Amino acid sequence: MSVAERVPNELWDEILTYDSKLTGLIVSRLSRRFRAIGTRALYRDILLDNIRSIVLCFKTLSRNDKAAKAVHSLKSSFPVGLHPKIANQLHAFFRLHARALSSLPNLRCLGVLQAHFEDHTYGEFVDFIWDSCCFPQLWEFQAHVPITRKLVEFLHRHKDILRIIGLIPMGTQSVYPDASLGFPLLHTLHCAPDVATWFLPSSRLPQLQAMYLSCCDFHEDDVYPDAIALLKECWALNEWAKILHISRERLDIDVIRHIAAVFAPIKLSAFHVHIILIDDEPLRVTGDQIMEVARHVSQLGQFLAEFHWTVDAPPTDPITAVEDLDTEYAAVSLIGQGCPSLQYCRFPNAYLWHRVSGNIWIPGDCHNLDKNFKAFRWTFEQLHERKYPALSELYQYMEAYLSEYLRFAVGQFRAAEEYEDSARKRVTMDFMQIAQFLNMWFYLEVARHIPSPVFIEAFMETYDQSIYH
């Protein structure tokens, strides 16, 4: 018996989970035994983004039982439209779609993300694809297709196991049949406002923790206030910490004010507002608007841990956002005072601010160190000129550590206030480098700094004392 035959399939699956599909392809060519292992690795997670790969993959899944059984996640994202000249071919495509889906017994995650706006596409004309679909292990379902009766029946068949649902109907063929849906395990719902106004009243969602509301302004009637009111009623019945994510196509501070007022008594742990610009109108966010939003968000109370107000604009759009870090610090401090649990805060086209402790807020993103230069310059100038508003609190925070070296560093930094400018700058960089070891900020300029001899000597002395005492 070969080595491959002695190793259980479950172990091979676990090994290949941590490797690439290329490795799975190489493994599958070694022997017949490895071919079965490689098939499971190659077809476990499928992402299809063009019509040729969709057709070829669906044909394989319809004919190859091993490949079909291996699929855990299937997501296809390609615009498909019903044009008269190719209607017959597309009808065959949808029947192939139905056969492929009905052959996946182990599917956990299904995404039909064909974004389109043509009438009838994936509507009642072709919703037979949902007829024979029944996945005993399905826990995530996302669809950018019209809502039809067959789709609602599909959801009803899986209501006891679904944990994540995303419904963004495209086109104009959606219908909202009367249905009493209960999802006892659902914790994340992503939908458009009109879907929410249909979905939330007729559904029982005791575990709902995250709501992603895509308030895209495709229609003249903006129904988001109704959706927000229904969501509040749903969340008022449970004690979970909640996440609310709103997507808009325009800068609308009234939305933030309304949501802050509605959800003030709710345990909201994260609030995200995302603006998607699709026209040539540049976005201008002023300091006054930043402070106005900060006053509204500060009403959300003690459970709010994150607030993100971001913009996703086309690369050609000139975006003008507030660049005054003093204003941003004042805004995050204002929100932090009203929301003591707040840890992260971001404004449009600005840095991510993270809270170290109390009023100690620092700009900069640890995942984009090469883009933190402006944040570094602001932090350096605030410390160098002794203008940082929470400077005394920063001293106390560092001196609270049981470290003689940190107390020495704080003492040196305080004493340097009387030094000449160049010497004070060097001590400031030494101080910032020591604080960076405590993960207070993440700046490349600080990491590249060579510490002064006096700091190196003090570090070695305290290090020796920690060893021998």
**136 exposure class (CB count in 10 Å sphere: 0-12, 13-18, 19+):** exposed
User: What was the pLDDT predicted at 322?
Assistant: 45
User: What was the pLDDT predicted at 249?
Assistant: 78
| Between residues 338 and 403, the one the model is more confident about | 338
User: If pLDDT is split at 50, 70 and 90, which confidence band does 418 have?
Assistant: confident
Please give the structure tokens belonging to residue 306: 């994150």
**171-175, 298-302, 401-405: the lowest-pLDDT one:** 171-175
Beta bridge partners of 353: 345, 363
Q: What is the DSSP letter of 235?
A: H
4 close to 37: Cβ distance less than 8 angstroms? yes
Whether 467 has a pLDDT exceeding 50, the answer reads: no
The contacts of residue 20 (CB under 8 Å, 6+ apart) are none
- Of the candidates 348, 350, 379, the residue with the CA atom closest to the CA atom of residue 444: 379
- Rounded Cα distance, 448 and 420, in Å: 23
Give the residue-averaged pLDDT of 390-402. Answer: 89
User: What was the pLDDT predicted at 315?
Assistant: 54
| Average pLDDT across the chain, whole number | 80
| Between residues 40 and 135, the one the model is more confident about | 135
Whether 307 has a pLDDT exceeding 60, the answer reads: yes
Percent of residues in the chain assigned helix, strand, coil, to nearest 5: 45, 15, 40
**34-43, 244-253, 383-392: the lowest-pLDDT one:** 34-43
- Rounded Cα distance, 173 and 419, in Å: 73
Whether 308 has a pLDDT exceeding 90, the answer reads: yes
User: What was the pLDDT predicted at 269?
Assistant: 92
- Residue whose structure tokens are 């490895």: 34
Give the residue-averaged pLDDT of 79-93. Answer: 57
Task: Write out pLDDT tens, residues 279-297.
Answer: 666 677 888 889 999 999 9
Whether 465 has a pLDDT exceeding 60, the answer reads: no
- Of the candidates 354, 343, 374, the residue with the CA atom closest to the CA atom of residue 444: 374
Task: Write out pLDDT tens, residues 109-152.
Answer: 999 876 555 555 566 777 788 888 899 999 999 988 888 888 88
User: If pLDDT is split at 50, 70 and 90, which confidence band does 349 have?
Assistant: confident
pTM: 0.82
Q: What b/e string do you get for 431-443 counting C-beta neighbours within 10 Å, with b at 16 or more?
A: bbbbbeeeebbbb
Whether 365 has a pLDDT exceeding 80, the answer reads: no
User: What was the pLDDT predicted at 91?
Assistant: 64
Task: Write out pLDDT tens, residues 1-33.
Answer: 455 556 566 666 665 565 555 555 555 555 555
**Any idea what the Cα angle at residue 143 is, between residues 138 and 148, rounded to 5°?**
100
- Of the candidates 458, 362, 461, the residue with the CA atom closest to the CA atom of residue 412: 458
In this structure, what are the phi and psi dihedrals at residue 306, rounded to the nearest 5 degrees? -140, 140
- Residue whose structure tokens are 């394989």: 60
User: What was the pLDDT predicted at 219?
Assistant: 46
- Rounded Cα distance, 377 and 394, in Å: 18
User: If pLDDT is split at 50, 70 and 90, which confidence band does 456 have?
Assistant: confident
Whether 317 has a pLDDT exceeding 50, the answer reads: no
User: What was the pLDDT predicted at 353?
Assistant: 94
**176-180, 271-275, 311-315: the lowest-pLDDT one:** 311-315
User: What was the pLDDT predicted at 61?
Assistant: 92
Measured CA to CA in angstroms, residue 164 lies from 108, 358, 378, 395 at distances of 11, 36, 42, 45
Which helix or strand (DSSP H or E) is residue 360 part of? strand 360-363
In this structure, what are the phi and psi dihedrals at residue 259, rounded to the nearest 5 degrees? -65, -40
Q: What is the DSSP letter of 469?
A: -
User: What was the pLDDT predicted at 321?
Assistant: 45
**Alpha helix (H) residue ranges in 241-340:** 253-262, 287-297, 325-338
146 close to 174: Cβ distance less than 8 angstroms? yes
**Any idea what the Cα angle at residue 150 is, between residues 146 and 152, rounded to 5°?**
75
- Helices 9-17/32-43 angle, 10° precision: 50
- Residue whose structure tokens are 């969709």: 54
User: What was the pLDDT predicted at 15?
Assistant: 57
Neighbour tally for 97: CB within 10 Å? 22
All domains in the chain, ordered by first residue: 1-44 (1.20.1280), 45-382 (3.80.10), 388-465 (no CATH)
